[in-house]
């Protein structure tokens, strides 16, 4: 009779699951399964086996989006800022170097103890002679990476990888007003693609470069041009590795991205930095007002900033090879530009490229 009564909660309360937990668990598990599928496809491609394109359905994309990648990316960003004890730096960075094949001999500072946290290590600078800038060709690679696709833009559609496209207008957003550009625009009755081409006889070209986690994370100006406008699209932060890009149509239109537009000697020119999982931070050195991966945003929204109306009507002049911005971890750069019909790319799909090497020329 002196024993204390043991009170137990009903089983249904103990095992009660909240909808958020179910979404995270289900979405995370499915994302892991897709990662494994993509790994198998990559192995087949390395053996020379042609893999047919299989696009994700709407429910698969929605399930992937249910994973809180933006929250995880912000948490990863904060973790990267934590200063590591000196004794721990070399083991941690050495593991990363071994995993992703980083060449530290190219780094401006090779001593691993110099980097106080992971963020500093990811954004390490290179020795000046490590990436000579090609002076012969008119357009160079803005970053290290892998060429996913390139060529002419056709029917207002751009290929993110072979056989998988996205809408040019969805990716860049509505046409920028004529007052914000140095050059005249085509009449509004033409297609979106035709409105970007300013000179008769020119064509619109594109090039997609994927930055892997082990690549140099800064990106540079691919040519001599003037940046007139910045458009920031908040959005998802899904993985942009080639396997996912082959699986999700219009992946780059779903993800957060920063579109820089302006002009070069042949007309329209744009560079877009696309965010990805754990890459919520996109930094443009001359744009202090840009803040990416904010906690909340409206779906389908974007914000504009004019460097002409806010910079003495001149825009931001960039020289070929000049530092432009940086990612955390790795992501994708998309170039869309106007050039004469005899412009030729000196590339092969799937090839590795380094900052400063030629993309193409006239």
Catalytic residue among 119, 138, 228, 331: 331
144 is catalytic: yes
Q: Note every long-range contact of 250-255, with CB atoms under 8 Å and residues 24 or more positions apart, other chains counting.
A: 250/160, 250/165, 250/166, 250/167, 250/170, 250/171, 251/160, 251/166, 252/160, 252/166, 252/171, 252/332, 252/334, 253/166, 253/167, 253/170, 253/171, 254/61, 254/65
Angle between helices 58-65 and 19-46 (to 10 degrees): 110
Contact (CB, 8 A) for 218 and 326: yes
- What's the CA gap between 204 and 201, in Å, rounded? 10
Residue 348 tokens, joined: 């092969």
Q: Judge whether 323 and 306 are in contact, CB under 8 Å.
A: no
Find the catalytic residue in 38, 206, 220, 254.
220
Q: Are 63 and 250 in contact (CB under 8 A)?
A: no
User: How far apart are alpha carbons 142 and 146 in whole angstroms?
Assistant: 12
Decide if 191 is catalytic.
no
Which residue among the candidates 73, 144, 266, 281 is catalytic per the annotation?
A: 144
3-state helix, strand, coil in the chain (%, to 5): 30, 25, 45
Per the annotation, the verdict on 113 as an active-site residue is no
For the annotated catalytic residues, the residue numbers are: 144, 220, 331
């Amino acid at each position: 009779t002196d024993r204390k009564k043991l009170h137990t909660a009903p089983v249904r309360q103990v095992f009660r699951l909240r909808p958020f937990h179910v979404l995270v668990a289900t979405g995370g598990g499915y994302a892991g399964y897709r990662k494994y599928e993509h790994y198998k496809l990559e192995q087949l491609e390395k053996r020379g086996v042609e893999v047919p394109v299989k696009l994700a359905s709407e429910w698969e994309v929605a399930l992937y989006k249910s994973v809180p990648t933006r929250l995880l990316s912000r948490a990863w960003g904060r973790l990267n800022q934590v200063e590591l004890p000196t004794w721990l730096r070399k083991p941690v960075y050495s593991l990363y170097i071994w995993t992703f094949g980083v060449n530290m001999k190219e780094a401006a500072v090779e001593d691993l103890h110099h980097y106080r946290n992971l963020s500093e290590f990811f954004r390490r600078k290179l020795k000046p002679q490590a990436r000579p800038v090609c002076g012969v060709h008119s357009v160079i690679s803005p970053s290290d990476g892998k060429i996913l696709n390139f060529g002419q833009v056709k029917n207002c559609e751009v290929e993110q990888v072979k056989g998988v496209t996205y809408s040019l207008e969805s990716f860049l957003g509505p046409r920028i007003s004529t007052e914000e550009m140095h050059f005249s625009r085509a009449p509004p009755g033409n297609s979106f693609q035709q409105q970007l081409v300013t000179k008769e006889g020119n064509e619109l070209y594109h090039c997609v470069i994927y930055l892997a986690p082990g690549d140099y994370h800064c990106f540079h100006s691919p040519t001599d041009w003037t940046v007139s406008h910045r458009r920031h699209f908040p959005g998802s932060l899904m993985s942009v590795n080639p396997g996912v890009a082959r699986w999700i149509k219009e992946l780059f239109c779903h993800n957060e991205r920063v579109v820089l537009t302006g002009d070069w000697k042949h007309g329209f020119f744009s560079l877009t930095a696309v965010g990805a999982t754990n890459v919520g931070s996109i930094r443009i050195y001359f744009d202090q007002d840009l803040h990416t991966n904010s906690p909340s945003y409206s779906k389908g929204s974007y914000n504009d900033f004019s460097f002409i109306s806010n910079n003495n009507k001149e825009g931001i002049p960039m020289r070929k090879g000049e530092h432009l911005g940086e990612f955390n971890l790795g992501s994708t750069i998309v170039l869309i530009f106007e050039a004469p019909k005899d412009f030729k790319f000196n590339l092969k799909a799937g090839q590795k490229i380094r900052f400063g090497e030629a993309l193409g020329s006239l």
